Structure 1
Amino acid sequence: MLSNNTVKIRALLKNSSTERFEIQGIVSTIILSTLYFKHNSDIPPFLKEVFDIEYKDYVLKSRTMILARTIRFVDKLDDKATDKIRKELLKWFEDFGYDEPFSKNISRNKNAADSWMNK
């Protein structure tokens, strides 16, 4: 089962006329979501693979700092580079298994609800 955000993100990434602000929104959703990255230490491989950027350790301690730097990076890109990032995001999203985090979250919530109901 896919989340509503997941379906929207995939649709936007598949559209070649996706605007820069939409890419920034997608990046924000991915970085801030604990569905994709449980820990901040899980984010650097994503940044390297999609954007080919690395941040110092003090930046990686805060998702909002990571997000601010990455959004600033995307904002400075020209249209050709933005389209390349869009394609890299789509590739990462499909390689990652975009429906897996949502499915895990549902099963975890279902088990929690079951244990509560059985009391």
Structure 2
Amino acid sequence: MRNELKKIRVSIIDNSEEQVKSELYGIFSSLILSKKIAPKNSDLKGIMSELNFSFKEYVFKSRTILLSRIIRAIEKMDEKEVSILIEKLINFIEVDDILNQKTKVSYKKKKKNIFDDIFNQLG
């Protein structure tokens, strides 16, 4: 997803505003509909607040309703707002990648292995 955002950043200069927006629609579709990024619908509320989107509570009950609201908001944005949104999205993804790497490392530390116990007993 990070590569897609970098392409969009470059395409802001090269392409039309509508093409950039349509690429953002696809990225937000992947972001919102992915259960890997947000396993629960309630997790999406924090993500959207980091990206400065605020909606009523009922919108977060359905991913498709949330996606339609995001698409509508992006459609109404001007070029400057779109570029700010892309920067926030890139920052969010970079922070999320860093947090995922930290949790993977800490998870590996907690996981026990039978062979580790045998090696510890033998010295």
Question: What TM-score comes out, normalization by structure 1 length?
Answer: 0.71
Quote the offset at 1:58 in angstroms: 1.4
Match of 2:85 in 1: 85
Match of 2:63 in 1: 63
Match of 1:44 in 2: 45
Counterpart AA for 2:79 = D
Q: Per chain length, whose mean CA-contact separation is higher, i.e. which structure has more relative contact order (CA < 8 Å, sep 6+)?
A: 1
Bigger fraction of residues in helix: 2
Counterpart AA for 1:65 = I
- Is it true that 1:10 corresponds to 2:2 in the alignment? yes
SS in 2 for 1:47: helix
- Number of residue-to-residue matches in the alignment: 93
1: CA distance, partners of 2:100 / 2:86: 21
Larger radius of gyration, structure 1 or 2?
Answer: 2
2: CA distance, partners of 1:12 / 1:32: 17
1: CA distance, partners of 2:99 / 2:27: 16
2: CA distance, partners of 1:42 / 1:48: 10
Q: Hey, which bits of structure 1, 4+ residues long, moved more than 4 A?
A: none
1: CA distance, partners of 2:23 / 2:39: 23
Question: What TM-score comes out, normalization by structure 2 length?
Answer: 0.69
Quote the offset at 1:12 in angstroms: 2.1
Counterpart AA for 2:49 = K
Match of 2:22 in 1: 21
1: CA distance, partners of 2:32 / 2:99: 16
- Identical-residue share of aligned pairs (%): 34
CA RMSD in angstroms, aligned pairs only: 2.0
SS in 2 for 1:97: helix
List gaps (5 residues or longer) in structure 1.
1-8, 105-119
